[in-house]
């Protein structure tokens, strides 16, 4: 994906209504082009979802273990407006005028925000109190591949998905899963065409998988083979079974990410392969004047920082970010605690 399109797609998935203004888009490509040598090409993909709206984020799904499922769907699909499933209380959504971030605590004069990546890796985001990252919206981001017709970007929101994502009084199709929950295919809003969304509910999060011309069989596979749970910090860990492929490009551009955002700033904290050649001291881009910074924060754990600013105030915060942000106590999902 071209750099400007990738950044535009990333930002359109910001986690509340305070998106950068349309005028900000004009300068994004110029600012990011100067740092494109640090970015890894995503490569060819068959499906790409533009996730535009309130509270949207994208993330992939981590395999917690062999779920011992076959690719054949074993749930039950029903027609629009006629879900054959147990009744459930309506979900509680985050008000659109509020933001959400994991709980924080103080340690030695610093603010510590414990986070869990979508693949189960945990870390502490540490920063001076004046940086106030807990005032931003915080959410996970990554990607997934699977049977034709759905996938690539998967989005999650604590807001009502009918605000900015889906439309209609009833879903197009519902699928009762083996656990008794329901995944429903909803018509996407016009800004998301040609994609519709397969919607699940895990904890406080609504999960939206973009779909386009998926067969009934493939749609049922997607509906039945995704699971998830809310982590102790309030973020989301997901799991998937074959034939889904998690993190198809697990690198510093596409690996599991914690994203923090508001109207002035978008920060990606990502983990993937070791990234020591792009540290602050050698190879990283830590000059905030062009509105883009990126560097390897924890080389051995592959913790990579990428951030964009869209205003003068945002650039000042980028400078403070470079000087004050640290990520520690990284425990990768595949490593013993």
pTM of the model: 0.75
* Mean pLDDT, range 307-320, rounded to an integer: 96
* Mean pLDDT, range 271-291, rounded to an integer: 85
pLDDT for the residue numbered 140: 84
Q: Sheet containing 326-331: which strands, arranged edge to edge?
A: 105-107, 110-116, 122-127, 326-331
pLDDT for the residue numbered 88: 56
Is the pLDDT reported for residue 245 higher than 50? yes
Is the pLDDT reported for residue 3 higher than 90? no
pLDDT for the residue numbered 152: 82
pLDDT digits (tens, 9 = 90+) for 18-30: 444 433 433 433 4
pLDDT digits (tens, 9 = 90+) for 143-200: 888 999 998 877 888 999 999 999 999 999 999 999 999 999 999 999 998 999 999 9
Is the pLDDT reported for residue 36 higher than 90? no
* Mean pLDDT, range 271-298, rounded to an integer: 87
Is the pLDDT reported for residue 49 higher than 60? no
Which is higher by pLDDT, 108 or 275?
108
Is the pLDDT reported for residue 59 higher than 60? no
């Amino acid at each position: 994906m071209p750099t400007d399109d990738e950044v535009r797609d990333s930002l359109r998935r910001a986690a509340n209504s305070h998106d950068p203004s349309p005028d900000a888009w004009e300068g994004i490509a110029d600012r990011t082009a100067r740092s494109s040598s640090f970015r890894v090409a995503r490569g060819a993909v068959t499906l790409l979802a533009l996730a535009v709206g309130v509270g949207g984020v994208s993330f992939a799904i981590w395999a917690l273990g062999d779920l011992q499922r076959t690719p054949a769907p074993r749930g039950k699909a029903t027609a629009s407006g006629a879900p054959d499933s147990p009744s459930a209380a309506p979900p509680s959504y985050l008000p659109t005028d509020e933001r959400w971030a994991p709980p924080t605590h103080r340690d030695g004069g610093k603010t510590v925000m414990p986070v869990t990546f979508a693949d189960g890796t945990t870390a502490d985001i540490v920063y001076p109190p004046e940086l106030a990252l807990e005032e931003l919206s915080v959410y996970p981001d990554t990607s997934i591949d699977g049977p034709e017709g759905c996938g690539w970007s998967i989005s999650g929101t604590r807001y009502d998905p009918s605000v900015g994502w889906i439309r209609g009084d009833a879903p197009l199709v519902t699928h009762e899963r083996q656990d008794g929950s329901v995944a429903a295919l909803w018509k996407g809003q016009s800004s998301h065409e040609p994609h519709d969304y397969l919607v699940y509910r895990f904890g406080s999060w609504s999960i939206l998988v973009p779909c386009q011309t998926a067969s009934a069989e493939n749609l049922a596979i997607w509906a039945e083979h995704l699971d998830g749970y809310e982590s102790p910090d309030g973020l989301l860990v997901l799991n998937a079974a074959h034939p889904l492929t998690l993190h198809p490009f697990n690198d510093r551009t596409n690996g599991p990410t914690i994203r923090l955002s508001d109207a002035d700033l978008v920060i990606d904290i990502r983990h993937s392969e070791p990234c020591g050649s792009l540290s602050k001291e050698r190879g990283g881009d830590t000059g905030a004047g062009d509105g883009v910074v990126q560097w390897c924060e924890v080389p051995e754990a592959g913790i990579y920082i990428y951030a964009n600013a869209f205003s003068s105030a945002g650039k000042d915060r980028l400078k403070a970010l470079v000087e004050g942000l640290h990520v520690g106590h990284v425990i990768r999902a595949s490593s013993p605690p």
